Amino acid sequence: MSDKAEMADVQSMPDDREIEIDKVGVKNVKYPIIVLDKVNSIQNTIATIDMYVNLPHHHKGTHMSRFVEILHENKNMINMKNFPEILKELKNRLDAESSHMIIRFPYFIKKEAPISKTQSYMEYQCGIWGSMDNDDIMKEFVVSISAPINTLCPCSKEISRYGAHNQRGVAKVDLKVKKFFWIEDIINIIEKCASSDIYSILKREDEKYITERAFENPKFVEDVVRDIADMLSQDANVRWFAVEAENFESIHNHSAYAYLERNN
């Protein structure tokens, strides 16, 4: 008898405690993935992935290796289109009634400085998470996109003789949509709603332009989330959204923060 034939499938053995587990699986899997890119068709990046299924009360454990196998069989391609297919495959392969997946990854866009046109890559933090129940219908599907921003304080501009304090921050948008959309389009909305956007490389002429632009376009965090919400509310593809902005204050020992969510 071969060694393989002698190996017991311990995970599939019965469990006499009769307690179902809501989520069991793998967490913080670092994995190379391919995502869709509006300019270059595809982009290679590295994701951190959590994958879970429910575990019926009569099973002792789940088969952890199958989670990563499913990622590999999808040729590492992860996007809004095939996300439901991966969740369905998780349920089927692991004989589960529900499946869950969270994917977080950096996304890079080549960006030109406003005056010198110097090119550099900007990093944006993105994520997709969702779940599926036994009816094979998505129970939840959310796309998350974060972008660094620059804001200049309207109050400081109003009361200061020589200028105003500004600071780097981050704005994040979570979305539920009706159909596919491009990550770049949401990043563009976020950056338009800041005092100015952020660049990896700026020459002197670019720095002059950015600081003057911010001075002419002061924003509280409240302004940022309201402006983003106003633009998203005009998009018929968006069913629900949540917007948050955080300023890493330059003259305070705390951050300024604002959040809102709406059904569209």
Q: Is the pLDDT of residue 138 over 80?
A: yes
What mean pLDDT is predicted for residues 157-175? 95
In a domain, 89, yes or no: yes
- pLDDT value of position 212: 96
Range of the domain at 172: 16-263
Asked if the structure places residue 172 within a domain, the reply is yes
Asked whether residue 41 is assigned to any structural domain, the reply reads yes
> Looking at the domain assignment, is residue 38 inside a domain?
yes
Residues 6+ apart with CB under 8 A from 92: none
Lowest mean pLDDT of 15-24, 49-58, 237-246, name the range: 15-24
Q: Is residue 86 part of a domain?
A: yes
What CATH code is carried by the domain that includes residue 64? 3.10.270.10
User: Is residue 13 very low, low, confident or very high in pLDDT (cuts 50, 70, 90)?
Assistant: low
Q: Whole-model pTM?
A: 0.89
26-68 pLDDT, tens digit per residue, is 999 999 999 999 999 999 999 999 999 998 766 666 778 888 8
Residue 7 lies in a domain: no
- 18 vs 228, higher pLDDT: 228
Instruction: Please give the full DSSP string across the chain, using - where no structure is assigned.
Output: --HHHH---GGGS--TT---EEEEEEEEEEEEEEEEETTTEEEEEEEEEEEEEEE-TT-S---THHHHHHHHHTTTB--TTTHHHHHHHHHHHTT-S-EEEEEEEEEEEEEE-TTT--EEEEEEEEEEEEEE-TTSSEEEEEEEEEEEEEEE-HHHHHH-SS---EEEEEEEEEEEESS---HHHHHHHHHHTSSEE--S---HHHHHHHHHHHHTS---HHHHHHHHHHHHTT-TTEEEEEEEEEEE-SSSSSEEEEEEEEE-
How many structural domains is the chain composed of? 1
Residue 1 has pLDDT above 60, yes or no: no
pLDDT digits (tens, 9 = 90+) for 92-118: 888 889 999 999 999 999 999 999 999
Residue 5 lies in a domain: no
Residue 3 lies inside a defined structural domain of this protein? no
